Chain A
Amino acid sequence: MKHILVIDDAATVRLYHRGILENAGYSVDEAINGIEALEKALVKPYDLFIVDVNMPKLDGYGFLKEFRRQDDALQSPAIMVTTEASGSDKQLGYMSGANLYITKPIKPNELVNYARLLLGETL
């Protein structure tokens, strides 16, 4: 079973993403900000990250930059799911290490399809 870490400071968003991804057959953990995500990612390997941008303590860009910097071998893909829709936000997301940048709100089948795409699974 593939492991996914959902990183978002909004409990409802985490619950929403968790429900969708668990229904699709994935194991899901949650983190409430980038710092907690870094701590969890250091002790457990994740196959995919679903990352919000705006979070207290360490935002999504900061998490990805730090995560990619800590260990080059940790190259699990990441989807940024955020309300930030500007071109510069997307560019920053990709520069930070995101593989996909999706603007909220996201529909369940979209999230699952993107997850499968980045996990190399058959759609």
Chain B
Amino acid sequence: MAFIKKTATPIHCTEHDERHTERDFADLVAELGAENETARRWAVRDLTPLPDASQPLVARLAYEESASVRAAILNALAQIGDHAAIAGLIHCLRSEDAGLRNEAIEVLKAIPQHVEPVIHTLLNDSDSDVRIFAVNILESLRHKDVEKWLIEVIEKDPHINVCATAVDLLSEVGTERALPALKQLKIRFEDDPYICFTTDLALKRIEDGSQ
């Protein structure tokens, strides 16, 4: 069982922000439920390098109310980056808590190497909000297929807001390859003023950029 050395503390500790005991994995998991916020934050920090830390951290995230502890857990999950950690971060996209959703999006944007394998699944999720968040995450992915995925979204996704979000990003990263799909989208949603507005903008930016 893993063991944490008290001396391995890379950050400054205040009098009230110190470990009181040396703890093993089970102790740290128990400490995630401590009443004291600082104790919970320490538990997150000390759990992070240990094997199998993701699952208890994800479990705690579901009902952690402290913003600082929540941020610590999200950052820990991003740092761990294993299957359970990424699944936990993605699960946050379905949260009723807008703050948690946005924090998860920002964390996922920062770890494109871990998101890349699951992005296609997210873009085809049954929940349109999750698909919108997936498009938001694409913004930072810097992957060679980003444009291709965005084109697929505006060609196939039935939800107007998912398409609108994809067009916004295409206007920044799109090339001439996106022009036919953008023109087709404008026809598909010809009665919607926002789609017409944003599509015209994207078409103009791409066409101007290609000249």
Q: Which residues of A contact B (CB under 8 A)?
A: 10-13, 15-16, 19, 53-56, 59-62, 83-84, 88-89, 92, 104-108
Contacts and interface: CB of A to CB of B under 8 A. Distances in A.
Given A54-B98, A55-B102, A104 B161 contact: yes
Given A12-B198, A83-B132, A105-B161, 4 more contacts: A62-B98, A84-B129, A104-B164, A106-B194
> Quick one: which of A15, A55, A104, A108 has the most chain B CB within 10 A?
A104
Contact of B98 (A10, A16, A61, A108): A61
A84 B99 CA distance: 13
Given A54-B98, A83-B129, A108 B193 contact: yes
Nearest to B199: A12
B161 A83 contact: yes
A12 B164 CA distance: 10
Given A10-B168, A12-B171, A84-B129, A61 B99 contact: yes
Interface in B112-147: 128-129, 132-133, 136
A10 B170 CA distance: 12
Interface residues of B, number: 26
Contacts of A60: 98
Contacts of A16: 194, 197-198
Contacts of B128: 83
Tell me whether chain B's interface is mostly helix, strand or loop, or mixed.
helix
Interface in B83-127: 96, 98-99, 101-102, 105-106
Contacts, number: 61
Given A12-B171, A16-B194, A56-B105, A105 B99 contact: no
Interface string B159-173: 011001101100100
A19 B194 CA distance: 11
Contact of B164 (A56, A62, A105): A105
A13 B99 contact: no
22 contacts: A10-B165, A12-B168, A12-B201, A16-B198, A19-B197, A54-B101, A54-B102, A54-B136, A56-B106, A59-B99, A61-B99, A62-B98, A62-B99, A83-B129, A83-B132, A83-B165, A84-B129, A89-B96, A92-B96, A104-B164, A105-B192, A105-B194
B203 interface: no
B28 interface: no
B195 interface: yes
Contact of A88 (B96, B164, B198): B96
Nearest to B132: A83
Nearest to A60: B98
Nearest to A20: B193
A59 B67 CA distance: 14
A59 B161 contact: no
